[in-house]
Amino acid sequence: MTGRSSSSESFAGGAAALGARVRAGEVSARQVVEAALEELAVSEPSLHCFNLVTADAALEAADAVDATVALGGDPGPLAGVPIALKDNLCTRGVATTCSSRILTCWEPPYDATVVRRLAAAGAVSLGKTNLDEFAMGSSTETSATGPTRNPWDLSRVPGGSSGGSAAAVAAGLVPLAFGSDTGGSIRQPAALCGVVGLKPTYGLVSRYGLVAFASSLDQIGPLTLTVRDAAVALQVIAGHDPLDSTSLDLPAADYTAELGRGVEGLRVGVISDFLPDASATCSGAVRQAAEALSSAGARVEEVDIPELLHGLSAYYLIAPAEASSNLARYDGVRYGLRVEADDVATMNAKTRAAGFGPEVKRRIMLGTYVLSAGYYDAYYGQALRVRTLIVRAFERAYERFDVLLAPTTPSVAFPLGAKTADPIEMYLSDLFTIPTNLAGHPAVSVPFALGEEGLPVGVQVLAPALGEAVMLRTAAALEAAADPGARGPVRPQLGEALEGAVS
Residue 3 to residue 23: CA distance in whole angstroms? 31
Judge whether 100 counts as a catalytic residue: no
Judge whether 350 counts as a catalytic residue: no
Residue 83 to residue 124: CA distance in whole angstroms? 6
Question: Helix crossing, 382-400 with 311-326: angle to 10°?
Answer: 130
Within 8 A by CB and 6+ apart from 92, the residues are: 107, 108, 109, 110, 111
C-alpha closest to that of 172 among 18, 40, 2: 40
| Catalytic, out of 185, 283, 429, 445 | 185
DSSP state of 205: B
Convert 419-437 to b/e letters by CB count within 10 Å (16 or more is b).
bbeeeeebbbbbbbbbbbb
- Contact between 93 and 33 (Cβ < 8 Å): no
Peptide bond into 6 cis (omega under 30): no
C-alpha closest to that of 99 among 165, 11, 12, 31: 165
Residue 486 to residue 196: CA distance in whole angstroms? 11
- Which residues are registered as beta bridge partners of 462? 404, 443
Helix (H) or strand (E) holding 490: strand 490-491
Backbone angles phi, psi at 224, to 5 degrees: -140, 175
Amino acid at 299: R
| Catalytic, out of 5, 8, 143, 161 | 161
- Contact between 82 and 188 (Cβ < 8 Å): no
- Tell me the HSE value of 376 on the side-chain side, using a 13 A CA sphere: 5
Residue 124 to residue 57: CA distance in whole angstroms? 9
Helical spans, DSSP H, in 90-206:
113-120, 163-170, 187-193
| Catalytic, out of 43, 86, 125, 143 | 86
Judge whether 185 counts as a catalytic residue: yes
Q: Are strands 299-303 and 267-271 parallel, antiparallel or unpaired?
A: parallel
Give the active site residues: 86, 161, 185
